[in-house]
Chain A
């Protein structure tokens, strides 16, 4: 029975890996920018599932909440509103092939190198890791308090800045209408 259950998890693992890889390929190779953006949904989902396999439950759910609920929605808003408004379908093309290949090869080489040289730790599937949220919370409020607070300040400033920029434009419109 134990053997069978491990098989199920392995099959599911490869399922999630293939979802991630296939959708990531669609994101990169699709000529249709909106489809690329929607394919990101499956990439993020697959990555979140892979985090679960690493016992990183908090990270997995945060991945869904922040990347799908925040960043992807933002990208979609941008793409969808611009794509239709100017009445020209934006297609992704290939530009600067040589520099792109060099950059991609450099990044890919670095990643593979790190993956190769890193001493990976293998946890047994019956590991006693239950949840990571309390530890993350404790570390954020003790050891990493300063970076945490700095990050929150940066976010706060960005929020206020966004409001200021949005408001200024509105005021300009109103003054022109008045004059």
Chain B
């Protein structure tokens, strides 16, 4: 019985090693293509928000510019500062990207494709973020540059403290769905837009209306926390151009710089995909059984995540940057207490309904 992409490739090639290699390369191809698309979107959206037009020369409305940028980055000289810690400086981009990329193992792109269908998928996704933190610290320290070090430290402090709202939001979802596997959570919400957890999940109307305000708040908090997790405005203190000259990757150039960039955009997709699978029904179609199926699943999953990415870009070019103390204030005194309220309320509702 062939039910998943894994089993299909295994039946085709009959070699587990080859299957593992293919499955681990597939998301990489996706990440690269997706990064090019988002780079283009970001530049264009930013320009139009600021009443500019951005690049228009390369191809139709500058559509080839991301590819040109990528080639330029690959051809640039790879400079390592003389006083830098050479080993750590070289390793850091790869550690960072490995951390971001590890999360793709547990993302359910469609009903038949998930890299590793493990029971604690969402938990693993959060844990893999901590490897990114260490990679960023490594980059910041090894550059031997005050601003890089400061950027690295800020970034680590920020990512560690915003992990808490993310994890609490996850606990709430786990309480409702009874699972930490993103595939199971998505299946739980299958069957149309009204079953998505953001709208209270697939419960009888009364329970749904009781749950609705709390799941909605949880989703909004998760979204805010996810912007902070990827270090973007209004939470972009680690890279603040005007203060820290790009923060922890000031000294990087060429391919290594590209690795950081790729890792950042991969992270952007991962946090959006996490929000999508937890609250927006993952790969399930908003119209119930219409336009659903494995191939449409990929379409829905990627486009829902893309909408969230667009939202993050919009926020980035609209809001000013927070101060460090405001950043901590938002995480510890606003988001976390509200999530505790939601946690207690959702628990009480679920118990009373049973």
Shortest 9 CB-CB distances between A and B: which pairs? A69-B130, A131-B119, A64-B127, A65-B127, A5-B16, A68-B130, A61-B127, A8-B17, A41-B134
Shortest B129–chain A CB gap in Å is 7
Q: Is B180 an interface residue (CB 8 A)?
A: yes
Tell me which of A73-81, A139-147, A148-156, A170-178 binds B: A73-81
Q: Is B126 an interface residue (CB 8 A)?
A: yes
Q: Which residues from A are CB-within-8-Å of B163?
A: 69
Q: Which residues from B are CB-within-8-Å of A80?
A: 137, 141, 149, 153
Q: What separation, in Å, do the CA atoms of A58 and B16 have in the docked complex? A: 25
Q: Determine if B88 and A35 form an interchain contact, defined as CB atoms under 8 angstroms apart.
A: yes
Can you spell out 29 A-B residue pairs with CB atoms less than 8 angstroms apart?
A4-B17, A5-B17, A8-B16, A8-B17, A8-B20, A34-B85, A34-B88, A41-B95, A41-B134, A57-B118, A57-B120, A58-B120, A58-B123, A61-B124, A61-B127, A62-B127, A65-B126, A68-B131, A69-B129, A70-B160, A73-B130, A73-B134, A73-B137, A76-B137, A76-B156, A80-B141, A130-B119, A131-B120, A133-B180
Q: Which residues from B are CB-within-8-Å of A81?
A: 153
Q: Is B138 an interface residue (CB 8 A)?
A: yes
Q: Is B14 an interface residue (CB 8 A)?
A: yes
Query: Given known contacts A68-B127, A68-B131, what 12 new A-B pairs fall within 8 Å (CB)?
Result: A1-B15, A41-B134, A45-B131, A57-B118, A57-B120, A58-B123, A61-B120, A68-B130, A69-B160, A70-B130, A80-B137, A81-B153
Q: What separation, in Å, do the CA atoms of A69 and B160 have in the docked complex? A: 7
Which bracket fits the contact residues of A? 20 to 34
Q: What separation, in Å, do the CA atoms of A84 and B16 have in the docked complex? A: 48
Q: What separation, in Å, do the CA atoms of A8 and B17 have in the docked complex? A: 7
Q: Determine if B149 and A64 form an interchain contact, defined as CB atoms under 8 angstroms apart.
A: no
Shortest A33–chain B CB gap in Å is 12
Q: What separation, in Å, do the CA atoms of A130 and B119 have in the docked complex? A: 8
Q: Is B87 an interface residue (CB 8 A)?
A: yes
Q: Is A38 an interface residue (CB 8 A)?
A: yes
A interface: dominant SS: helix
Q: Determine if B160 and A84 form an interchain contact, defined as CB atoms under 8 angstroms apart.
A: no
Q: What separation, in Å, do the CA atoms of A81 and B141 have in the docked complex? A: 10
Q: What separation, in Å, do the CA atoms of A62 and B134 have in the docked complex? A: 16
Q: Which residues from A are CB-within-8-Å of B17?
A: 4-5, 8
B interface: dominant SS: helix
Shortest B170–chain A CB gap in Å is 12
Q: Which residues of B contact A (CB under 8 A)?
A: 14-17, 20, 85, 87-88, 95, 118-120, 123-124, 126-131, 133-134, 137-138, 141, 149, 153, 156, 160, 163, 180
Q: Determine if A69 and B153 form an interchain contact, defined as CB atoms under 8 angstroms apart.
A: no
Name the residue on B nearest A11 (C-beta): B17
Q: Which residues from A are CB-within-8-Å of B88?
A: 34-35, 38
Name the residue on A nearest B14 (C-beta): A1
Q: What separation, in Å, do the CA atoms of A69 and B131 have in the docked complex? A: 7
Q: Is A72 an interface residue (CB 8 A)?
A: yes
Q: Which of B14, B127, B129, B134 contacts A76 (CB 8 A)?
A: B134
Q: What separation, in Å, do the CA atoms of A102 and B217 have in the docked complex? A: 58
Q: Determine if A133 and B120 form an interchain contact, defined as CB atoms under 8 angstroms apart.
A: yes
Complex interface residues of chain A between 1 and 45 (CB less than 8 A to chain B): 1, 4-5, 8, 34-35, 38, 41, 45
Q: Which of B123, B127, B156 has the most CB of A within 10 A?
A: B127
Name the residue on B nearest A64 (C-beta): B127
Q: Determine if A34 and B123 form an interchain contact, defined as CB atoms under 8 angstroms apart.
A: no
Name the residue on A nearest B16 (C-beta): A5
Q: Which of B15, B95, B153 contacts A4 (CB 8 A)?
A: B15
Q: Which residues from A are CB-within-8-Å of B180?
A: 133
Q: Which of B20, B85, B137, B153 contacts A35 (CB 8 A)?
A: B85
Name the residue on B nearest A9 (C-beta): B16
Q: Determine if A73 and B118 form an interchain contact, defined as CB atoms under 8 angstroms apart.
A: no
Q: Which residues from A are CB-within-8-Å of B119?
A: 57, 130-131, 133
Name the residue on A nearest B10 (C-beta): A1
Q: Which residues from B are CB-within-8-Å of A69?
A: 127, 129-130, 133, 160, 163
Complex interface residues of chain A between 37 and 61 (CB less than 8 A to chain B): 38, 41, 45, 57-58, 61
Q: Which residues from B are CB-within-8-Å of A35?
A: 85, 87-88
Q: Which residues from A are CB-within-8-Å of B149?
A: 80, 84
Name the residue on A nearest B92 (C-beta): A38
Q: Determine if B141 and A34 form an interchain contact, defined as CB atoms under 8 angstroms apart.
A: yes
